[in-house]
Homo-oligomer: A and B are copies of this chain.
Amino acid sequence: MRPNNRALDQLRDVTFETGANAYAEGSCLVKFGGTHVLCTASIDEGIPRWLKGKGRGWVTAEYGMLPRSTHTRNSREAARGKQSGRTIEISRLIGRSLRAVIDLEKLGERQIIIDCDVMQADGGTRTASISGGWVALWLACEKLVEAGDLTENPVFAKMAAVSCGIVDGTCRLDLEYTEDSAAQADANFVLTDAGGIIEVQASAEDTPFSADEMAELTRLAVEGIRELCALQQAAVK
């Protein structure tokens, strides 16, 4: 039995609350159950130096956890003077995923920075960040369209992310923390609403798992991401 009697292929309660920040060009407070992430998209009319004059834009992301977003407090990365390997890895994953669904030529010579700050963590913060980040990115691009800076939104695909895993021998969608910490395998999927693969990362915890199990995890993810994309679309309308 899963916590809260969830079915194996059932998402937690998911909400995308847009306009959660008064200043950002796009923003979204995304909740997957007890996991809450504030995503903001900031348009920067500059561009990284190595892209200057190439007629293309850039999307990058930064991920962070508030010190007390977790059950016990984690030390503040700014105070330690160093981001953890995990933070850097997740920031890179979010940025790479979002860049895969935007036409950077159409975006023009500007940069959009997606900040994903975890207010509360109950498993799946990186996939929630990508899902909420897509919303913030879409909204910021809409603002450029409304302002006449772009003729159409350069985000060309609907996309979301979700984690799946094998817990107690069963494949499950959208793990929460207690499941995540007991999983035999753990996989993060970033997919389009049509099931196109953008990024897959799967890891065995103790013992290798089989290709069949991988296929079942993928099936759960495809289904879950279709639902998530529908929720995103409702939110940005």
Q: Which residues of A are in contact with B by a Cβ distance under 8 Å? A: 21-24, 27, 34, 38, 40, 42, 44, 62, 64, 66-73, 76-79, 81-83, 85, 87-89, 91-92, 96, 100, 113, 115, 117, 119-120, 157, 185, 191-192, 195-211, 213-214, 218
Copies of the protein in its oligomer: 6
Question: Is the Cβ of B68 less than 8 Å from the Cβ of A23?
Answer: yes
Question: Is the Cβ of B85 less than 8 Å from the Cβ of A157?
Answer: no
How many Å lie between the Cα of A56 and that of B23 in the bound state? 31
Nearest-neighbor residue (CB-CB) of A194 within chain B: B208
Q: At the interface, is chain A mostly helix, strand, loop or mixed?
A: mixed
A197 cross-chain contacts in B, Cβ below 8 A: 185, 202, 204, 208-211, 213-214
Question: Is the Cβ of A78 less than 8 Å from the Cβ of B87?
Answer: yes
How many Å lie between the Cα of A138 and that of B124 in the bound state? 32
Contacts A42-B67, A64-B78 given; indicate if A211 touches B204 (C-beta within 8 A): no
How many Å lie between the Cα of A209 and that of B100 in the bound state? 11
How many Å lie between the Cα of A161 and that of B22 in the bound state? 24
Nearest-neighbor residue (CB-CB) of A86 within chain B: B92
Question: Is the Cβ of B68 less than 8 Å from the Cβ of A24?
Answer: yes
A195 cross-chain contacts in B, Cβ below 8 A: 210-211
Question: Is the Cβ of A70 less than 8 Å from the Cβ of B119?
Answer: no
Question: Is the Cβ of A89 less than 8 Å from the Cβ of B89?
Answer: yes
Nearest Cβ in chain B — how far from A163, in angstroms?
A: 14
Contacts A202-B200, A210-B197, A211-B197 given; indicate if A76 touches B88 (C-beta within 8 A): no
A91 cross-chain contacts in B, Cβ below 8 A: 85
A-B contact pairs, 26 of them (CB 8 A): A21-B68, A21-B120, A22-B120, A23-B70, A38-B119, A40-B66, A42-B73, A44-B73, A67-B113, A67-B115, A73-B113, A73-B115, A78-B83, A81-B82, A85-B88, A89-B92, A192-B208, A196-B208, A196-B210, A197-B202, A197-B211, A197-B214, A198-B208, A199-B202, A201-B202, A211-B218
